[in-house]
Structure 1
Amino acid sequence: MTSLSIVVPVLDEAAGIVATLEALAPLRARGAELIVVDGGSRDATMARAQGLADVVIDGPRGRARQMNAGAAVARAPTLLFLHADTRLPEGADRLIAQALGVAPLAWGRFDVAIEGRSRMLRVVAAMMNGRSRLTGIATGDQAMFMTRAAFEAAGGFPDQPLMEDIELSARLKRLHAPVCLHERVITSGRRWEQRGVWRTIMLMWRLRLLYALGVSADRLAPWYR
């Protein structure tokens, strides 16, 4: 039986989905289950994913809903939620198994490196990793992983269009402190560079602050888009 299910939510990722899934082939060869959940792509994402994943399903639109849909069909006792533009470090499956081998209710994440031209992206990644260690809150860019028991005890991802990773982290944190692995996932900096690094930093800080003050994710989502 597989011990790890990797859930990848996608939307219009035809340009990069093959590279993303091929990079996960070594984990599949060692028994990991790979699940792709499409949120209504209008390109060839689903067609290109066929044969490169164990399960490819058409799920409800919205990252939180897609990840919950993937978790619902996953067969393994450990879940890893991976963004389509993020690459795992070598031996990620073994690192996760070691990290979660000591607690019945456990979860964690990797450090992150942001790929791009701007040197500021290194600073952004360092701030994300440091803040996560300090607060015990992870983001989806850090490839969150958890036991199924922890995922279910926390109620899964909340049905909201933004900050679903922050909210789930807060719930998981009440169950168990996260395991913060130093090994890095590499995520794309395209969002930062398209919008401007400093502009994106200020936007995310503002959104996080407003969310912490009680502003709903539904109200904040249009600002993020």
Structure 2
Amino acid sequence: MSEKPLLSIIIPTLGVEENLSLLLKDLDSQEGISFEVVIASATPNSDTATPPIGFKTKNLKTKIVICERGRGRQLNEGVKHAEGNDLLFLHADTRIPSLTLLTRGSEAMALARRASKRVAGHFPLRLGSELAVPSFYYIEAKSRFGLPECVNGDQGQWISREYFDELGGMDESLPFLEDLRLSKHVAAEGRWITLPGEILTSPRRFEKEGRKARLSLNALIRVAEELGLKRFLKRAPELYRDQPSTEKLTLAPFINLFFRELFSGSIRGNISGLGAFAAMNAWQTIAWLECTYARQRGMDSHLVELNYTKRGISLFHNLKDNFIFRTLAGSALLAWMLTIWLGSLQPFSFIRNRL
């Protein structure tokens, strides 16, 4: 009888993931920990018994589970077939440069659980790009922060099965955002810790779709999630699938839909919520300035302390209910959205459709 693994690594996939074999190779080289890999595949013709073609495993225990499409649904299905007491959710385009990353992660989690069982971990992130891109540097620096706004699936999410079940598992209501919602639930009920080491993720999506467009869409989705614009979140994946796969991401359909939902229903409530969201995230302006200064000095993104940002978070938290500050912050955010809107391909289609 084989030994029960301490850790189950669950990876959602859609079709043939060209980077999956590279991740499995990295995992096969890990030392000092017993674990298994569960591939939650939404491809009906996947082989349920073997890992991807061309990959030869030494000791890696791997199983493939066939499930319906949707990351939250796939991850929950993977958990059902997992044997470990600990769960680590990874994306298929993740790379692991250290042979002892999982061992050190397990030790850090065990230490953190001495204080409370309600703890989850994430790794600092590297975007595997040789380009010295300010936005990439900023993302990497924030990945060490541990705030729910900064923790996402690209960083890996390590949690005990017991705590995961207590939180109700991954949200399945949308085909995305399950990682951000898990981050918020953990932050509300327990705490996040930053695990030692780092993982790499591919910047291909940013480079293929356009960095500015991709990051702007991510920000738009975060705002819609905070404001509860359910129709936007429901339709956004359809708009994304309609985009030509060989071209840059076009923001116009998303922005048109966002403003249509923002200015429907409870307009006053939506605008007030926009101001509150902007006020609570005003610290990111300070973080950007700190990262810009550190980058110009040649400092590694994972060594940036963000000391002024940490002070700013406390300050802005106290100001979030201040009407004047919230109005100013919301106006600045709305102005940014309008700038992005006017820079998209069809900037006036929303107005034209309303006339």
TM-score (norm 2): 0.57
User: Of residues 8, 15, 32 in structure 1, which corresponds to 2:35?
Assistant: 32
Letter matched to residue 163 of structure 1:
L
Aligned partner of 2:80 in structure 1 is 72
Structure 1, unpaired ranges of 5+: none
Contact 2:42–2:66, Cα closer than 8 Å, also in 1: yes
3-state secondary structure, aligned to 1:162:
coil
Change (3 A) 1:5 1:192: same
Distance 1:136 1:99 in 2: 22
Q: Give the corresponding residue for 1:84.
A: 92
Q: Which residue of 1 aligns with 2:283?
A: none
Structure 1 residues 136-215: aligned runs within 5 Å? 137-159=150-172, 160-181=174-195, 183-215=197-229
Partners of 2:33 and 2:182 in 1: CA distance: 29
> Which residue in the other structure is 2:301 paired with?
none
* Contact 2:48/2:64, CA 8 A, preserved across alignment: no
SS state at 2:127 partner = strand
* Equivalent AA in structure 2 for residue 54 of structure 1: T
Q: In structure 1, what is the Cα distance between the partners aligned to 2:31 and 2:103?
A: 13
Q: How much has 1:41 moved relative to structure 2?
A: 6.2
* Alpha-carbon distance between aligned partners in 2 of 1:73 and 1:199, rounded to the nearest angstrom: 37
Find the aligned partners of 1:10 and 1:209 in 2 and give their Cα distance. Answer: 27
2: CA distance between counterparts of 1:20 and 1:41? 22
Q: 1:123 to 1:14 in 2, by over 3 A?
A: closer
What residue is the counterpart of 1:218 in the other structure? 234
> Which sections of structure 2, spanning at least 5 residues, go unmatched?
242-355
- Determine the structure 2 residue equivalent to 1:108: 121
Q: Identity of paired residues, percent?
A: 25
For the 8 Å contact 1:14–1:48, the answer to whether it is kept is: no
SS of match in other structure, 1:156: coil
Alpha-carbon separation, structure 2, partners of 1:17 and 1:28: 19
Q: Distance in 1 between matches of 2:26 and 2:106?
A: 19
Question: Which range is displaced more, 54-63 or 72-81?
Answer: 54-63
Q: Could you say if the C-alpha distance between residues 211 and 224 of structure 1 is closer, same or farther in structure 2, counting changes exceeding 3 Å? A: farther
* Structure 1 residues 2-59: Cα deviation after superposition (integer angstroms, max 9, x where no partner): 1111011111235332222111103388421111111116788986537745211212
> 1:126: Cα distance to partner?
2.8
> Following the alignment from structure 1 to structure 2, what is the Cα–Cα distance between the partners of residues 46 and 15?
19
- CA separation of 1:83/1:193 partners in 2, compared to 1, >3 Å: closer, same or farther? same
Per the alignment, in what secondary structure is the counterpart of residue 234 of structure 2? helix
Q: Distance in 1 between matches of 2:228 and 2:141?
A: 23
Q: What amino acid is the match of 1:218?
A: K
**Structure 1 segments of 4+ aligned residues over 6 angstroms from their partners:** 41-46
The structure, 1 or 2, with the larger RCO (C-alpha pairs under 8 Å, 6+ apart) is: 1
Distance 1:35 1:156 in 2: 16
Match of 2:23 among 20, 23, 27: 20
Q: CA deviation at 1:85?
A: 0.3
Cα distance in 1, alignment partners of residues 148 and 182 from structure 2: 14
Higher strand share: 1
Aligned runs of 1:92-131 on 2, under 5 Å?
92-101=101-110, 102-103=112-113, 104-120=117-133, 122-126=136-140, 128-129=142-143
Asked if 1:3 corresponds to 2:6, the answer is yes
- Which stretch has the larger CA shift, 132-141 or 179-188? 132-141
Do the aligned partners of residues 48 and 108 (structure 1) sit closer, same or farther apart at CA in structure 2, a change above 3 Å counting? closer
Q: Is the 8 A contact 1:20 1:84 kept in 2?
A: yes
Q: Which deviates further from its counterpart, 64-73 or 99-108?
A: 99-108
Determine the C-alpha separation between the residues in 2 that align with 1:13 and 1:128: 31
For 1:74-108, what per-residue CA distance to the aligned partner results, in whole angstroms no more than 9, with x for missing partners? Answer: 11110000101001342222122122213222211
* Structure 1 residues 150 and 223, CA gap change in structure 2 (3 angstroms): farther
CA RMSD of aligned residues (A): 2.6
Q: Contact conserved, 2:143 with 2:150, CA < 8 A, in 1?
A: no
